[in-house]
Structure 1
Amino acid sequence: KNVGSITIISDGIITDGYEPLYDAEKLGVPVFTIGIGDTSVIKDLLIRDIFYNQNIYAEKSTDIETQIVNYGFENSLVKVSLFEENKLIQSKDIVLSPTAINKVKFDYTPSESGDKKMRISVSALPGETNTLNNSKTFYLKVLRNKIKLTVISGSPSADLSAIVSSLSSDKNIDIKKIVEISKNKFLNGFEYTWIDSADVLFLIDFPGENSSAELMNRTFSSIQNNKPYFILITPTTDLSKLKRVEQQLPFSINKISSDNILVQAELVTENFNAIFSSLSAQQNIWSGLPPIAKNNSELFPKPESITLIKSSVKNIPLNSPLLISRSIGRQRSISFLSGEIWKWQLASADKSPIFFTNFINDIVKWLNLSDSKKQFTVRTTKKLFSNGENVEFIAELYDQTFIPITDADVVITINNGSTNIEQKLEKVKDGLYSGIWENGFEGDYSFHAIAKFDGVSLKSETERFSVVPGSIEKYDTRMNVDFLKRLAHVSGGNFFFIDDYESLFNELNRINLNRVITTYSYNEFQLWSNSWTIAIIIILFAIEWFIRKRAGML
């Protein structure tokens, strides 16, 4: 594309998505950043980040950690508090660090399942210029406290050990293992009832070469009855057996190959973050993971599947992804289309020992969410909205056989505790409806929807969202010079303040003068329209025939 460089003019404050440092590093061209915004030193105290698992279990302790940044208030005493539904859970007094970075960890144990609105706040100090950022709200989904999970593996393997060890770290998961060691022989025995009684199935390198027809039938019969499952496809998975049940899979098997390739992972951030917690979505960890072995068979996601992680070879994306999810009707599934996942556990052990465990356990939690079993669901695109930000609703509607409804009236009712607001959702495609509510008031809201079709009326469960004070742009108003410098540095570029624009122009001129531009040209020759060419070819064929005749080869 002949792109020599990229210039970004920004204040460096990220209001949506993630830090694009890894993306900038892969561009292959220098990124120059120009800083604009407030550079003055103001006295402020703000909650920058909150780290937590968005899906947790009732009656089980979990850590919630917050990072508080202070400007001009070092050595001051403040109170940091954790609230559940505006009820104080825990408070801690801290002395603000001279380094400006303060980390506070809370121990939280929910008493019952359901959505929990949480809030962390830090007490205001005299002289603060902005107190809107002293508080931050978030939601947790609390699951019931025990999940029955059955692991079915085509053979013992390092992948099996890595996944089982991660699952075993969560005491709220009751694990049963069915591991084939040879034809009709299993490790430590098993019962077929483990398959039907499980809440979630984990298929690791299954079916394998020795997998029995009965075990396959029992497993995929349970999946056909909407059992949520995870499947790991390794280079030794028997894809010819798996193709027999292709209709139940979230991907199609177009071509089977015996070749393997080494691939790297590339997150599709928006899709990935919808399922996985922030502890599993750390870009600095993902960028350092080693390549893993992927079978070169053509495994393509079906239209209703969502790609969470792409696969690439030397930064060239492949058509076949690495991780996909599917939530259709009453069933959820996640498919990992590569083996050697144990390498990720090993590679991340020093830098983030809990990364791989969180990644695997987030899969379990998402698969076990109860809304996968509902005929009619409605949700917002996120749980928290800023004052004045539009709230988008999405509804999914199926009949009793879980075929998407082609035509229905879907009306959503929004309640703020005193007033009901009704709004009709418009059809996007069969079974999918959406609408936008232009909110203008802070507060906590509940909502449900009613769908009418063919004389049938269905009501969704009640869900929640919150509109919080202020806008995200006002949360942190200081230019983030450090981020803009790092963004430029990782790509080979430079950072400039807006007043120093002439230095940027000199740098861009230097790049343009030294840039090598590659041009391509081609000539086309019509051989068969040239009489001399045809004559030479005929003579050569005649000579060949004469030589073969003399040698007795004809």
Structure 2
Amino acid sequence: MQIETLLYIILSGIIALLVALFQYNVKGKNKSNWLFAFLRFISVFTLLLLLVNPKFEKISFYTEKPNLIIAVDNSSSIAHLQQTENVSELVSTLKENKNLLDKFNLNFFSFGKDLQASDSLSFKEQETNIDKAFSEFSQIYKNTTSPIILLSDGNQTYGNDYVYSAEKVNQPIYPIILGDTVKYTDLKLQQLNVNKYAFLKNNFPVEAIVAYNGNSSVTSKFVVTSGVSTVYSENISFSKEDNSKILNFTLPANRVGVQSYKAQILPLDSEKNTINNYKNFAVEVIDQKTNVAIVSDLIHPDLGAFKKSIETNEQRSVSILSPKEYLSQKNDFQLVILYQPNNTFKSVFEDLQQNNANKLVVLGTKTDYSFVNKNTTDYKHDITSQTEDYQASLNTNYTTFIIDDLDFESFPPLQSAFGKATFSIPVETILNKKIGSIETEDPLLLSFETNGRREVLLLGEDIWRWRAQSFLNNKSFNNFDTFIGKLVQYLASNKRKNRLNIDYESFYQGSSNRVIKAQFFNKNYEFDAKESLNIILKNKTTEEITTLPFILKGNHYQVDISHLPAGEYSFTVKATSENISESGAFQILEYYIEQQFLNANVSKLEQVAEKTNGTSYFVAKTETLIDDLLKDERYATIQKSSKNIVPLIDFKFFLGLLILSLAIEWFLRKYKGLI
């Protein structure tokens, strides 16, 4: 307590005493005056103390037990390795151990593709991402003592190497190894690399990596079939030293559409696991290709970013040309991207205008805006010598085609000339300009259609930074490349806009990201968010019919079909309020990634334990694990204290004392007839 506050308290006591003595003459033997003076002193002194409101330190003590995290692999590989009973018994043992409950706060998690705070286990997850579980633990239990018991076979099917992410958790990890550690003779189709698209009457390449685990020399046959026909076969020999083969071959693309294949290495008689001997794959054969020209007379990283994004779709190829080179090859291209045009583009603009051709125009700091304004009639841009950085904000009301939010607000700004673009025709904004935290109504990316021609306009350069940021956000370029691909698809097609548009893949691989999207428009071609859409799916083999509703998500509807088994499906999407429908077909390829493993990945789990100062155990050594945790001095219960500064006014006792003293004084005075 400060000296100044102490002086105020002493002064308050003196003032209260003087007031009490002044109001009641305590001379003589009248005991009532002494009582009244005492009550008045208490009342005044308490009131003054509350006004001074001194502050006191309040120290409280409490104990904090360490956390014990039990993370259980809930993927189907645990069931495949016949470990479900062991896991369930082990979880029950940990949950019911009184010594563990006394020493730790037990927290149970299960994981497959995602981490769940639950001890409910189904062992039906189709992906295992241990890396993601470790990354989330590093955030949840940061700056705490929280050792982790990891119940897993160590076989990860998705994510980065979890051995390195385990170190970032900054907690000891105790893997309990699930699964057989005995090495069996096994042939495995390790990897199959094939393009998603092929062109009619061409041969498309296939690469297969086949591995062998065993000590003796064996011979098998690698076969690729399409239906009942064998389209490729090759005899392969393996030994203990020569235990892997890379096969490269080509297959013919003779029919348009989705062609399904099965690649397999014929199993040995002694093999225990034959599921990992084959993989199904499909190729969509098309009879046309979109050639895109990027016309520019300057060198910029954006050119490479556009080329890489567009060419991720095998149906498209990109050439980067100068205006002069483009004019000499113009008949070879179906779409043109004009990058920061200037007066050297004059003949290119005239040719595109004469042919009423679609185009994507990028304007930036090196654009000749005077030239652009003279050679376009649809828009004009202010001419200034200043530049500005613009961030992007997604227009969720854009309805020309489906745009997913790539977290544009996390992307670095694009650089462009300062000023506004004015339009003489209606346009649809995809992205708005955002300066700092201020969102404007000026478009950064937009599209429009006029006289049967489509155009997309990007008012900024350095879009290569967006592609890089998208990779940092998602560990993949796919989302950004899909975004650019949709712009190209919109420009490469002049198909009339339908009131019901469906966005789906011809075939789906794996069990995740199986989504069908749809947009529905009213008679004015405005997006209708009130419509109810349903999809009717028919399995062509079993003829089973499934009806699912679409859900509204932003500016489109979508339905998740991840639960559907592998097979060929036809579907019809119907609007309930109007007689409008669209149909299509797709194929789900059969692939059980979680059943590709024959053994637990002991070496990886042991590395995790070693790098995090933990210890690995087998299921039979559970009691040893419990004893080690109980004896480990790193996990002692800690007594902590917290110090709070509490003002006197927070003590309700003093307020009660003030009211009580005033009340007693009033009743006594009333009783004695002094009031």
TM range (shorter): 0.5 to 0.7
- 2:264 maps to 1:121: yes
Q: Give the aligned partner of residue 190 of structure 1.
A: 348
Q: Give the aligned partner of residue 529 of structure 1.
A: none
Name the CA distance, whole Å, in 2 between partners of 1:511 and 1:380.
56
With over 3 angstroms needed to count, the CA separation of the structure-2 counterparts of 1:187 and 1:12, relative to structure 1, is: farther
- 2:416 maps to 1:238: yes
With over 3 angstroms needed to count, the CA separation of the structure-2 counterparts of 1:201 and 1:183, relative to structure 1, is: closer
Name the CA distance, whole Å, in 2 between partners of 1:503 and 1:481.
17
Name the CA distance, whole Å, in 1 between partners of 2:158 and 2:339.
48
- 2:254 maps to 1:254: no
Name the CA distance, whole Å, in 2 between partners of 1:243 and 1:29.
55
Name the CA distance, whole Å, in 1 between partners of 2:195 and 2:210.
19
Name the CA distance, whole Å, in 1 between partners of 2:461 and 2:638.
41
- The 8 Å contact of residues 408 and 452 in structure 1, kept in 2 or not, is answered as yes
The CA deviation at 1:122 is 0.8
Name the CA distance, whole Å, in 1 between partners of 2:201 and 2:639.
63
Name the CA distance, whole Å, in 2 between partners of 1:26 and 1:200.
48
- The 8 Å contact of residues 227 and 331 in structure 1, kept in 2 or not, is answered as no
Give 1:160's aligned amino acid.
L
Q: Give the aligned partner of residue 406 of structure 1.
A: 530
What TM-score do the two structures reach when normalised by structure 2?
0.50
| Secondary structure at the counterpart of residue 160 of structure 1 | helix
Can you list the C-alpha shifts for 1:357-397, whole angstroms capped at 9, x where unaligned? 999988776665689977332648972568xxx99764413
Q: Give the aligned partner of residue 530 of structure 1.
A: none
- 2:190 maps to 1:67: no
Give 2:348's aligned amino acid.
F
Name the CA distance, whole Å, in 1 between partners of 2:562 and 2:306.
43
Q: Percent identity?
A: 17
The CA deviation at 1:76 is 1.5
Name the CA distance, whole Å, in 1 between partners of 2:223 and 2:457.
38
| Secondary structure at the counterpart of residue 82 of structure 1 | strand
The CA deviation at 1:10 is 0.3
The CA deviation at 1:140 is 3.2
Q: Give the aligned partner of residue 83 of structure 1.
A: 225
Name the CA distance, whole Å, in 1 between partners of 2:156 and 2:568.
27
With over 3 angstroms needed to count, the CA separation of the structure-2 counterparts of 1:421 and 1:185, relative to structure 1, is: same
Q: Give the aligned partner of residue 318 of structure 1.
A: none
- The 8 Å contact of residues 35 and 498 in structure 1, kept in 2 or not, is answered as yes
The CA deviation at 1:240 is 4.3
- 2:365 maps to 1:208: yes
Name the CA distance, whole Å, in 2 between partners of 1:36 and 1:85.
38
With over 3 angstroms needed to count, the CA separation of the structure-2 counterparts of 1:486 and 1:450, relative to structure 1, is: same
Write out aligned runs for 1:343-362 (5 A). none
Larger Rg: 2
- The 8 Å contact of residues 189 and 208 in structure 2, kept in 1 or not, is answered as yes
The CA deviation at 1:449 is 1.1
With over 3 angstroms needed to count, the CA separation of the structure-2 counterparts of 1:393 and 1:207, relative to structure 1, is: closer
Can you list the C-alpha shifts for 1:319-348, whole angstroms capped at 9, x where unaligned? xxxxxxxxxxx999999976469999xxxx
- 2:632 maps to 1:475: no
Name the CA distance, whole Å, in 2 between partners of 1:154 and 1:225.
34
| Secondary structure at the counterpart of residue 603 of structure 2 | helix
Q: How many residues align?
A: 437
- The 8 Å contact of residues 184 and 214 in structure 2, kept in 1 or not, is answered as yes
Q: Give the aligned partner of residue 549 of structure 2.
A: 425
With over 3 angstroms needed to count, the CA separation of the structure-2 counterparts of 1:331 and 1:76, relative to structure 1, is: farther
Can you list the C-alpha shifts for 1:420-458, whole angstroms capped at 9, x where unaligned? 524242544575253669767xx6322111313443321
Name the CA distance, whole Å, in 2 between partners of 1:156 and 1:113.
39
- The 8 Å contact of residues 229 and 367 in structure 1, kept in 2 or not, is answered as no
Give 1:45's aligned amino acid.
L
What TM-score do the two structures reach when normalised by structure 1?
0.59
Give 2:596's aligned amino acid.
Y
- The 8 Å contact of residues 154 and 208 in structure 1, kept in 2 or not, is answered as no
Name the CA distance, whole Å, in 2 between partners of 1:333 and 1:143.
29
With over 3 angstroms needed to count, the CA separation of the structure-2 counterparts of 1:235 and 1:396, relative to structure 1, is: closer
- Structure with greater helix share of residues: 2
With over 3 angstroms needed to count, the CA separation of the structure-2 counterparts of 1:480 and 1:243, relative to structure 1, is: farther
Corresponding residue to 2:303 among 160, 164, 173: 160
Name the CA distance, whole Å, in 1 between partners of 2:637 and 2:296.
54
Name the CA distance, whole Å, in 1 between partners of 2:461 and 2:169.
27
Q: Give the aligned partner of residue 322 of structure 1.
A: none
With over 3 angstroms needed to count, the CA separation of the structure-2 counterparts of 1:235 and 1:491, relative to structure 1, is: farther
Write out aligned runs for 1:302-381 (5 A). 339=464, 375-377=500-502, 379=504
With over 3 angstroms needed to count, the CA separation of the structure-2 counterparts of 1:432 and 1:188, relative to structure 1, is: closer
Name the CA distance, whole Å, in 2 between partners of 1:102 and 1:124.
15
Q: Give the aligned partner of residue 587 of structure 2.
A: 464
The CA deviation at 1:114 is 3.1
Gapped regions of structure 2 (runs ≥ 5):
1-141, 324-337, 380-397, 444-453, 470-474, 649-675
Name the CA distance, whole Å, in 2 between partners of 1:525 and 1:243.
61
Q: Give the aligned partner of residue 2 of structure 1.
A: 143
With over 3 angstroms needed to count, the CA separation of the structure-2 counterparts of 1:81 and 1:229, relative to structure 1, is: same
Name the CA distance, whole Å, in 2 between partners of 1:491 and 1:113.
54
Can you list the C-alpha shifts for 1:232-280, whole angstroms capped at 9, x where unaligned? 98777217458879x85654432259xxxxxxxxxxxxxxxxxxxxxxx
Name the CA distance, whole Å, in 2 between partners of 1:336 and 1:511.
58
- The 8 Å contact of residues 177 and 616 in structure 2, kept in 1 or not, is answered as yes
